[in-house]
Structure formats: C-alpha cells, structure tokens
Structure 1
Amino acid sequence: MGAVQVWQIPLTVSSHELQAYLQILADDERIRSQQFRFEADRRRFIAARGRLRQLLGRCLQRPPESLCFEYGPCGKPSLSADSKTSSWQFNLSHSQDLAVCVLAERGRVGIDLEQVRSLKQLAGLCDRCLTEREQSQLAGAERDRAFLQYWTCKEAYLKAIGLGLTQSMQAVEVQLSPPRLLQVPQSAAWQLQLLNLPPGYVGALVIEGEAQPDFYHWQQVQETPPKPR
C-alpha cells in the first residue's frame, strides 16, 4: 500500500459493529459520542472514529484501542507521543452516511467531504467564502454543487495546516479545472485533488509534497495487507 492512502468509508453499521467500535474508542471519544442530539449522528461518529482507528492500527501495526490522539489549537487530531511510532499523519471528514480518510507517512494532509444539497442564502455564502475570481466561475444550475466543491477544496487545505474555519475562506483561492491552489496563507509544495465519490457528494484532498495517493474502499480492508512499519 502506498505512502498516501485515501479511504472511502461507509458509516452505515449494524448494532453489533457499533458496540465493537465503541469498545475501541478512548474515554473522551465515548463522552463526545453521548453529546449528539440525534442517534443517527451518534452512530456515524462512532463508526467513523472506530474505522479510522482500524486503519491507523493497520498502518502502525498496533491495536486500534491502544492509539492515543492529541488535538491542535483549532481541534485537528493527530497521533500523540504515546502512539507515534512513525511519522504517519491523518485527516478524516464525514457527511451523512459517508466518510473519507487520508493517511500519509509524512507531510501534512487535509481532506473534506460534503453532501450536495440546496443551499439557503447562496449569494451571501459566496460573498463571505469565495473570491471575486471564484464567484465569476459559478454559473448555471450547478451553482450549489460548484460552491460546495470550492468549499471542500478550501476546507481541506485549512485542515491540512491545522486552522480549519478559524481562517477566512477568502484567504484561500482555488482553481477547479485543473485543480490547483492559487493563493494560500502558507506556501509549500501543495497538491490539490478532487475526489471521485458516489453521486450526490463532492470532496477534495490536499497533500504536502509530491507523493501520489492510492485510493481504496472500505471493503478492501480485509483484502489488502497492512503497511509495514
């Protein structure tokens, strides 16, 4: 398996699977799972974190329940000193019943996913989040989808640098075709890729460095050997 892995992960799980995932979560993750208002959101959170732990455990050849996470000033998770037996970085995003995850041996990474939907007050969102050049590219009946594609590109970059939505979206300027970061707060050898997802979803991946990602579906977890340390 490659140095950069991108996984597409379904979040619809059985009650048996849910209980198994709950057992490998850390105490703070279990507490967080209890704070969701809706049961569907709680189940998705547990499934996403449980499957993330399984993937990281395979890469590090560690039991998934033994991994400890720490969180940056803006909430980005990473492997803590207790878990960091390698330089692997990761990022996770989910929307409704689908998640995407990127794992990288080295270099910063960010990933974002959105379900395509009708957006209220789209004009106001565009004014706050898109540059004039980006707004000029929105046209036709696919405006909601195009806005969400821009959003995922910007959010993936901001997650890669650990800032998330604390940074103005307009500080990042994106070209969708071909995908490219035109203007960013922190210069580096960034790659931007649009994700090939099921109908009704858009997503983006940002990688620091020149490594080319390999793409996998969750069903391949049992079919592929873990990455040696």
Structure 2
Amino acid sequence: MTSAHHAPSFDAAGLCPGLYEVSLPDGVPPGTRVWRLDLARASGWREQALALLDAGERQRNARFIHQADADRHALSHAALRCLLGAWLETPAGGLRLSIGAGGKPFLAEAAAAHFNLSHAGGHALIGLSSNHAIGIDLEVIDPNRPIGSLASMLMSSEERACCGTPCSPEAFYRIWTAREAVFKAWGSGLRDDLASWTMLPLQGDAELGVSGPGPMPGPTRLWELSVPAGHAAALALLTLPG
C-alpha cells in the first residue's frame, strides 16, 4: 500500500463508468482531487458496485424504499471505494470504512487518506485529499422549495442579505452547500444552532469567512465547484495540526 501522505496521482480512467475528474478552482492546494459520477452512465454497473460494498453498506442499501435511492447509494459508494483503492493501491472491496462520531466516514488503515462524498439528483461528487480534512456538498437547485422561510430559520442575517429579496435560489444553495461542506470537513455534521453561524463563500484563494458561537477546529478554506446546470456544490478543506 502506498503512503497516503503523497498526493493521489493515479489515473481514474476506467475505474467505473460515468466517472469524470472535476477541474478545481485556483488556490486549491496540491493533494486534493474531486470527481463527478454521472449516475445514469454508471447505472449498468450496479451489480459490480454492490459486490464491492461491505456487509454493513449492503445492509444499509437494502433498507432503501425506492430503487433509485438504493442505486445512487450503491454506485456512489462503490465509486468511492474504487478511487480510494486506486490511490492506496489496495483492492477496493477490501477497504474497511468506519464512521466517526460526527457521522463522517474514515479509513482506519490510512489515517491520512481524507475523503468525502455527496450525491444529489443524477450526480455524485467524491473528493480525496492527502493533507487536509475534506468536506464536499452537492445540491439540486430546487426553486419550488420554500427557501425564503428556510433562510429565515437557518441562516444568519448576513447570509440572508446575500440571498437577496426575494431569496434567490442560486444564492441560497451557494451558501447552503458552503455550510454543509464546512461542517463535513470539520466532521461535526449539521448543528442545531445553524442561524448563529455565518459562512460566506469567498472567491479565489482565500480563507472562508466564518463566525459563530464556537471555535473552529482549524483554518478552513472554501471554494465553489463547477457542476452541471441546476446544481450547486462546494469544497471545504480544514488544515490539520502538524
């Protein structure tokens, strides 16, 4: 197995159908890569995907009521395993993924192999980083959701101001994906005090503008990602001690 402290420099072509590398914005540090999985293109790979999952993942997959949700779970988690396996030069099906206290998966065998997964609609995003805790979020921009009411309940006054009046769906999801990505990078999951935090995505190579009722676990930076029309996505990286 190669050292996870080195940048993941493998070629992902051919690992699974429908997997495309995402071009990252300027300023994202070396050692971080992101892929998009087109779930429709990967749909014929379902049986192979299920075979790569461990027993716990297959049990969770069997609990989905709707087949589309089960397929999305199987395909995206199997693609994650393929990417991690290629990075670490180990069989994808043999990786042991565990769940941390905040609900974030991690690899017990390779503590420096940081990864995150998000899926929405017909796509999934998978991010790997060799030297930062990573959080990634993908959302479908749904103009029919009551985003004005959600912003009033869940966002700070500064964030609501950025959403405009009436609340812009694009701006709402831009901020919402930023929040999700940051909390996932921190490994804390969404909190009950969301309206007490302000997380505004800054452009370019800059640290995240963030304030809230508690300390951050470390310097955190945020970028928007280029994704298919009708979606919003964000990448957050947390600098780790040492």
Which of 30, 48, 53 is 1:25 aligned to?
53
Q: 1:191 to 1:15 in 2, by over 3 A?
A: closer
Secondary structure at the residue paired with 1:159?
helix
Moved over 3 A (4+): 13-16
Moved more, 140-149 or 2-11: 140-149
How far apart are 1:64 and its partner, in Å? 0.2
Q: Is the 8 A contact 2:32 2:127 kept in 1?
A: yes
1:36 maps onto 2:64 in alignment: yes
- Over aligned residue pairs, what C-alpha RMSD do you find? 2.0
Match of 1:145 in 2: 170
CA–CA separation in structure 2 for the residues paired with 1:176 and 1:89: 22
CA–CA separation in structure 2 for the residues paired with 1:157 and 1:14: 28
Q: TM-score by structure 2 length?
A: 0.79
How far apart are 1:197 and its partner, in Å? 0.7
1:199 maps onto 2:229 in alignment: yes
Give 1:194's aligned amino acid.
E
How far apart are 1:15 and its partner, in Å? 5.8
Structure 1: which 5+ runs fail to align? 211-229
How far apart are 1:62 and its partner, in Å? 0.4
Match of 1:67 in 2: 95
1:4-15 equivalent positions in 2, closer than 5 A: 4-13=32-41
CA–CA separation in structure 1 for the residues paired with 2:42 and 2:210: 43
Match of 2:75 in 1: 47
How far apart are 1:94 and its partner, in Å? 0.3
Q: How many residues align?
A: 207
Q: 1:114 to 1:199 in 2, by over 3 A?
A: same
| % same residue | 28
Q: Is the 8 A contact 1:116 1:202 kept in 2?
A: yes
Structure 2: which 5+ runs fail to align? 1-8, 10-29
CA–CA separation in structure 1 for the residues paired with 2:106 and 2:119: 17
How far apart are 1:119 and its partner, in Å? 4.0
How far apart are 1:14 and its partner, in Å? 5.6
Relative contact order, CA 8 A, sep 6+: which one is greater? Answer: 1
Match of 1:125 in 2: 150
Secondary structure at the residue paired with 2:136?
strand
Q: 1:15 to 1:3 in 2, by over 3 A?
A: closer
How far apart are 1:34 and its partner, in Å? 0.8
Secondary structure at the residue paired with 1:93?
strand
How far apart are 1:209 and its partner, in Å? 3.4
Which of 92, 98, 107 is 2:132 aligned to?
107
Deviations 1:39-72 (A, max 9, x none): 1111111000010000000110000001011111
Match of 1:160 in 2: 185
Q: Is the 8 A contact 1:13 1:47 kept in 2?
A: no
Match of 1:58 in 2: 86
CA–CA separation in structure 1 for the residues paired with 2:142 and 2:43: 29
CA–CA separation in structure 2 for the residues paired with 1:15 and 1:126: 35
Q: 1:152 to 1:15 in 2, by over 3 A?
A: closer
Secondary structure at the residue paired with 2:137?
strand
How far apart are 1:19 and its partner, in Å? 0.5
